[in-house]
Amino acid sequence: MAVLGMRSFDPLESLFELQRNLDRFLQKPRGIDLGPSGPGVYPPINVFTDGNGIVIRAEVPGVPPNELGVSVQRGSLTISGERRPEAKTGGSYHRRERAFGKFSRTVQLPDELNFEAAQATCRNGILTVRLPTREETKPKQIKIQAS
Amino acid sequence: MAEELAPKAKREVEEPEQTRPGRTYVPDVDIYEDEHGLWFWADMPGVSQDQVDIELRNNLLTIRGQVLLEDYKGLSPVFTEYNIGNYECRFRLRDTFVFDHDKIKARMVNGVLELEVPKAEQAKPRRIAVTSS
């Protein structure tokens, strides 16, 4: 499936504008084919275009960048890792809302992307994977740089 | 048996009294207490150390985190599963909780706020011996 050209939109004026924009694309892919990818798998992802290709973002708080697994293979991106709680003994919890455990999610992406040139960074618990558009065939492990 | 994570929808702050437009979210928080003090962990991905604001006044703890719009410059969404926004939450600590103001420690690690509120020396619990009569 071809990746459609970007729609340009106004520069971000406020958080409100950004939130409204993100809402517009909630669960509705426009101009991109993500194959069988669907909700219900951790982590939730946001997919953007930036003029060069595709940018995928995921919130993975509490996972050190060097423990995140990000791999690409022609056609798909896999994000995996584990969230572990801080080791505390001798006391007790008043509240427990954060979830812990392993995760692994695969997202199907358009063939036009140059998977070989994929780059991943992770900062403040947010993973950003950039894939420029171009043809690609080989699977590749990506080194994550914590910035 | 490995536990697997499932995605959770973000909860929004319910009070309408916000000074800025835009949704604000309530972060997931764990609260732990031992004889040394209270520990808070709040998931606030996208918030860096200098975007966190913590206020502890009259035993009311307020935590605020701001995300940066610059991270989204030049990006056009094509598919989204989550929205982003600032974070805010409040906790009322019990009146008898006496903490050591100078020793409060807060830091953001991988999008998680770690907040340590140590108890003041004289407030540490005394062990009560249990004897059989």
Tell me the pLDDT tens digit for each residue of A115-141: 888 999 999 999 999 999 875 444 568
Tell me the pLDDT tens digit for each residue of A50-64: 888 899 999 999 999
Q: What is the pLDDT of residues B49-71, one digit of tens each?
A: 999 999 988 889 999 999 988 88
B47: chain A residues, CB-CB within 8 Å: 124
Domain contains A95: no
Confidence (pLDDT) at A31 = 73
| Interface contact B41-A98, CB threshold 8 A | yes
Q: Is residue B24 part of a domain?
A: yes
Contact call for B80 and A40, based on CB within 8 A: no
Q: Does A36 have pLDDT greater than 50?
A: yes
In a domain, B107, yes or no: yes
What's the domain range around B65?
20-71+80-123
Residues A61 and A13: their CA atoms lie apart, in Å, by 26
Interchain CB contacts (distance < 8 Å): A and B: 189
pLDDT range class, residue A25, cuts 50, 70, 90: confident
Q: Where are the alpha helices (DSSP H) in chain A?
A: 15-24
| Closest CB from A24, A34, A101 relative to B4 | A101
> Tell me, what's the pLDDT at A9?
45
How far off is chain A from B20, nearest CA to CA, in Å? 9
* CA proximity to A5, closest of A35, A27, A31: A31
Asked whether the beta carbons of B85 and B22 are under 8 A apart, the reply is yes
Give the Cα separation of A44 and A86 in Å (integer).
23
- Is the per-residue pLDDT at B30 higher than 90? yes
- Residue A7 confidence (pLDDT) above 60: no
Whether residues A40 and B7 touch (CB distance < 8 A) is answered with: yes
Chain B residues touching A55 at Cβ < 8 A:
75
Domain count, chain B: 1
> Does residue B13 form part of some domain?
no
> Quick check: is A52 in a domain?
yes
Chain A residues inside the 8 Å CB shell of B30: 85, 93, 95-98
Asked, for residue B132, whether it belongs to a domain, the answer is no
Rounded to the nearest angstrom, the minimum Cα separation between B131 and chain A is: 22
> Does the pLDDT at position B2 exceed 60?
no
A10 falls within a domain: no
Tally of domains in chain A: 1
Domain-embedded: residue A92: no
Which residue of chain B has the CA closest to A40? B7
pLDDT given at position B18: 58
CB contact under 8 A, B108 and A98: no
**What is the SS3 string spanning chain B?**
CCCECCCCCCEECCCCCCCCCCCEEECCEEEEEECCEEEEEEECCCCCHHHEEEEEECCEEEEEECCCHHHHCCCEEEEECCCCCEEEEEEECCCCCCECHHHCEEEEECCEEEEEEEECHHHCCCCCCCCCC
The answer to whether B7 contacts A44, with C-beta atoms less than 8 Å apart, is: yes
List of chain A residues whose C-beta atoms are within 8 Å of the C-beta of residue B28: 97-99
pTM over 0.90: no
Q: Is the pLDDT of residue A12 over 50?
A: no
A30-35 contact pairs (CB < 8 A, 24+):
A30/A4, A30/B78, A30/B79, A31/A3, A31/A4, A31/A5, A31/A7, A31/B78, A32/A1, A32/A3, A32/A4, A32/A110, A32/B78, A32/B79, A33/A1, A33/A108, A33/A110, A34/A107, A34/A108, A34/A109, A34/B79, A35/A76, A35/A107, A35/A108
CATH of the domain at A53: 2.60.40.790
Instruction: Report whether the peptide linkage leading into residue A36 is cis, meaning its omega lies within 30 degrees of zero.
Output: no
Could you tell me the pLDDT band of residue A111, with boundaries at 50, 70 and 90? confident
Residue B133 distance to chain A (closest CA, Å): 28
Range of the domain at A39: 15-85+100-146
For residue B91, tell me if it sits in a domain: yes
Query: What CATH number is associated with residue B103?
Result: 2.60.40.790
Residue B133 lies in a domain: no
